[in-house]
Amino acid sequence: MKKRTLNIAVTGLNAIDSPGPGVSVIRALHEAASFNVNIIGLSYESLEPGIYMHDLVARTYSIPYPAAGIDTLLARLEYIHEKEKIDVIIPNFDAELYPFIKLEPKLKAMGIHMFLPTLHQFEERHKVNLNDFGRKYGISVPHSKVLYDLNTVHSLPSEFSFPMIVKGKFYDASIAYSIEQVKSYFNKISAKWGLPIIIQEFVHGTEFNVTGLGDGKGNTIAAVPMRKQYITDKGKAWGGISIADEKMLDMTRKFLKNTKWRGGFELELMKNKDGELYLLEINPRLPAWIYLAVGVGQNIPEALVNLALGEKVKPFSTYSVGKMFVRYSWDMIVDREEFEQISIYGEL
């Protein structure tokens, strides 16, 4: 039987030291067994490497930053849809999820499908609400506090011991060993990502991540735990290995069952020396290391696309344990004309 070809638009084509998941998602989609793909890249900046990977991405269009507003994004997507007849969009940045969730009904009416968490799920799992989230769903989370005002940092030592983590609302986290460092990180991170700043108890231990997919009805469609083996100074895994930890899988299933999570996700976990697991963060999208899940037998992006199209997807039941990913950066040679094309016309 001839496989259908889907036009799938993907964001997150960047690959700086904190790489976007887009290119990994695209690799996964090219390996899908249930469909062929024509990939449309959606970029925010002209130097996102995925734009120039013509063997993976057929055509790229620049899209406006979320700060430009939902209507501006919708107008741009309407233009792109007119040219490309998009079947599915996979947004891969935390910061763009809010406008895409808001636009989901309008895009669906245009024939564009997505499989995103609901606005309630998106807000509830936010770092700012993690304490309440842990209490509500019976999941251990480190104690955290939300700060809007630099003057309130002086009260922190009565509630937290040093070191403590200073986190931005979307990205960035630093370990502070003194009030002076807390202040410095507060200013640095809030200048980049805005307020609030989240202070989180530091849990000593080993870092793990789980990526997976929830069907929105409480079922686990996919789940793959990974131990970070090589961590950059930004805390990003540059190498990792799939593991078989039942506690982590149980926590993942509990998270999906209780929240009825819809879409891809990444859980950031810390295991202390007593083997207790803490949930540090829930990323409401697929992670940059998603290709490891494909490598161990769970093509999560493919399953996500099928769910977005309203098809029945059989949950994955197994994966290979002990498979590693080792990340590499690659210098592409690009003609200046291509850079000009995407910079000036917003299309390549």
Binding site for another protein (CB under 8 A): 206, 208, 226-227, 229, 240-245, 271, 321-322
Pick 214 or 225: Cβ nearer another protein: 225
- The distance of closest approach from Cβ of residue 87 to another protein in the complex, given in angstroms and rounded to an integer, is 37
Q: Nearest-CA neighbor of 307 among 211, 210, 218, 216?
A: 216
- The token pair at 141 is 């989370």
- The distance of closest approach from Cβ of residue 270 to another protein in the complex, given in angstroms and rounded to an integer, is 12
- The distance of closest approach from Cβ of residue 17 to another protein in the complex, given in angstroms and rounded to an integer, is 23
Cβ neighbours around 296 below 10 Å, total: 20
- The distance of closest approach from Cβ of residue 297 to another protein in the complex, given in angstroms and rounded to an integer, is 15
Pick 63 or 279: Cβ nearer another protein: 279
Pick 113 or 271: Cβ nearer another protein: 271
- The distance of closest approach from Cβ of residue 276 to another protein in the complex, given in angstroms and rounded to an integer, is 13
Pick 189 or 226: Cβ nearer another protein: 226
- The token pair at 37 is 């793909």
User: CB-based contacts of 306: which residues, under 8 Å, 6+ apart?
Assistant: 34, 313
Pick 143 or 247: Cβ nearer another protein: 247
Does residue 271 sit in helix, strand or coil? strand
Q: Are 199 and 144 in contact (CB under 8 A)?
A: yes
Cβ neighbours around 259 below 10 Å, total: 23
What are the φ and ψ backbone dihedral angles of 230, each rounded to 5 degrees?
-135, 115
CA distances from 96 to 70, 132, 189, 257, 277 (A): 10, 24, 19, 25, 29
Pick 51 or 226: Cβ nearer another protein: 226
- The distance of closest approach from Cβ of residue 238 to another protein in the complex, given in angstroms and rounded to an integer, is 15
Chain centre distance of CA 153: 29
